[in-house]
Amino acid sequence: MPHLKTLVERHENDPFALIGINTGDAPDAYHEGVKEFGLTWLSAFQGQAMTPISDLYKVRGYPTYLVLDTDGTIAYRGHSGTDIDAVVADLLAKAKAKGK
Partner 1 sequence: MRFKSILGVALIPMVAYAADPIVREVPVASASASPIDDFTALDTEFEAALVEYTKELKAADKAQRRELRGNSPIKRYWPRFEAMSKAGEGRATLWLVDHIKENRDVRSKERGAVLTPLFQSIIDNHADAEWFTSAVKSLNANKKYVGIEESVAMLEKAAKTAKSDNAKAASLFFAATIVGDSDPDRAKKWMDEIGEKYSNTVYGTAARASKATPEDSEVGKVAPTFVGETIDGFQFSIEDYRGKVVALDFYGFW
Which residues contribute to the site for partner 1 (CB under 8 A)?
1, 4, 7, 14-27, 29-33, 36-37, 42-77, 79-81, 84, 88, 91-92, 95
Q: Which is nearer to partner 1, 26 or 100 (CB)?
A: 26
Residue 16 and residue 68: Cα distance in Å, rounded?
Answer: 10
CB of 12 to partner 1, least distance (A): 13
Q: Which is nearer to partner 1, 49 or 97 (CB)?
A: 49
CB of 100 to partner 1, least distance (A): 16
Which contacts (CB < 8 Å, 24+ apart) does range 53-60 have?
A: 53/21, 54/21, 54/23, 59/23
CB of 20 to partner 1, least distance (A): 5
| Residue 35: Cβ-neighbour burial (10 angstroms; 0-12, 13-18, 19+) | exposed
Q: Which is nearer to partner 1, 9 or 36 (CB)?
A: 36
Residue 86 and residue 68: Cα distance in Å, rounded?
Answer: 13
